[in-house]
Amino acid sequence: MDLHVTEHRQLTAVQKLAHDWQALHDAAGEANPFTGPDWALTWLDHFAGDPRHEPLVLEVRDGDRLVGIAPLYRRSVLRGLATLVQPIGTGSLWIGPFEQPALLTDPTCARDVARAVVGHLCADPTGWDVAQFALGENVPWFEPEWLPDWSFTLLQRRTRPSAVLRLEGVDNVYAGRRNLKESLRRARNRLTRDVGADGWSVRRVTDPALLPAAFDRLVALHGERSQLRDGRPVHADIYADPRVLGYLRDVVTRAGEHGGASVYELLVGETVEASQLVLHTRSASYSSTSGVSERAWPYSAVTYLLSLAVKDAQEAGHRVLNLSTGPNQAKLRWTDEVRTSTEFAVVGPRRRSKALTLALDAHAVLAGFAEARRAHRVRLTPGKP
């Protein structure tokens, strides 16, 4: 193949790719919503004004045909001593729901696209010290032979695991999941017993005009969920930072314009008591953030809403429903399948780049620890160890 790589460092130039970028994402049958333009372009809109965040988006074409997008940016770290090239959505600012940034490729030439991206960056390593890559679902591994010579160093970085519910070719997703089926049945029965058959309802919000308000209700319930006590698992309130909130609200609004987002809501009377955000591609659904009031907690409300998302995904012909990164007990009630994506890093050939990598590794360990603490915590009952 005669692949040509074009580098874009100006936001206006990247924005012009939006239509072709979305078309490639749809045509490739991507299950990962984060490789489309909604997440990366909106991130650049919000954060590329910071001088530490310079766009470095690589457009790969085979003739006139777009076959790949590498949504990257340059970031200054260690007080300006080191420069990273990394996927948009990683690093600072930490945005929890932006879970799987990756390279977007045409599946018919995915490895060739990845090789071209690596080759382009390594052709001029003077502008960076470490380049980080998340290759995506169509590229199985970073091949050392992509590097121009052995003065570059390839490192295997973190692995991101996701619990994935397979839908394609499955008649009954609840087969062998008796406890899950019973939980859903109890949720319906308890609601009906407590508020009456006409006292509760569910709805799926997809109308682009209504999604922003539904998202705001989810944010409020997400915050309420983060404050629940008595030993119940707690997820950090990822919307507490107004910068993150503004960004994610724009992402959901943008995705909703082409059917890329739904908000499922449980209502008791006229009040929304639980909410679940689900992202969509042409071939898959992705369970994102949720919220629930203390009143609705005993009804397994979020689990029940997720069952509706599963049903809708099946009817839409989706291959999978991704239950998001970080498999835990709640997600593994649905599925035993865990898929992983591996991130890699290339250290530039300069001696300073190799030395700075050691300092960056120490910083990455601390950052990874902090992220894990945010994602997996249990608030204990006061007075208990």
On whether the CB atoms of residues 39 and 251 are closer than 8 A, the answer is: yes
Determine the distance from the C-alpha atom of residue 172 to the mean position of all C-alpha atoms in its chain, rounded to a whole number: 27
pLDDT category at 385 given cuts 50, 70, 90 is very low
CATH class of 3-160+341-378: alpha beta
User: Is the pLDDT assigned to residue 382 strictly greater than 70?
Assistant: no
What pLDDT sits at residue 1?
74
User: Is the pLDDT assigned to residue 378 strictly greater than 60?
Assistant: no
On whether the CB atoms of residues 106 and 61 are closer than 8 A, the answer is: no
pLDDT category at 381 given cuts 50, 70, 90 is very low
On whether the CB atoms of residues 236 and 295 are closer than 8 A, the answer is: no
Query: Per residue in 76-89, pLDDT tens?
Result: 888 888 899 999 99
pLDDT category at 384 given cuts 50, 70, 90 is very low
pLDDT category at 379 given cuts 50, 70, 90 is very low
Question: Which bin fits 176, alpha (ψ -120 to 50), beta or left (φ > 0)?
Answer: left
Within this chain, domains 3-160+341-378 and 168-318 share the same CATH topology: yes
What pLDDT sits at residue 233?
63
Mean predicted confidence (pLDDT) in 274-283: 98
The structural domains of the chain, with segments of one domain joined by +, span: 3-160+341-378, 168-318
Is there a cis peptide before residue 218, judged by omega within 30 degrees of 0?
A: no
Q: What percent of the chain lies above the pLDDT cut of 90?
A: 82
Mean predicted confidence (pLDDT) in 39-67: 93
Name the one residue in this structure whose structure tokens are 């943008």: 254
DSSP conformational letter for 381: P
What pLDDT sits at residue 243?
95
Number of C-beta neighbours around residue 266 at 10 A: 26
- How many residues are listed for the chain in this entry? 385
Phi, psi of 186 (to 5 degrees): -65, -35
Distance, in Å, from the CA atom of 216 to the CA atom of 212, rounded to the nearest integer, reads 6
Query: Per residue in 112-165, pLDDT tens?
Result: 999 999 999 999 999 999 999 999 999 999 999 999 999 999 999 889 999 999
User: Is the pLDDT assigned to residue 368 strictly greater than 80?
Assistant: no
CATH architecture entry for 168-318: 3-Layer(aba) Sandwich (3.40)
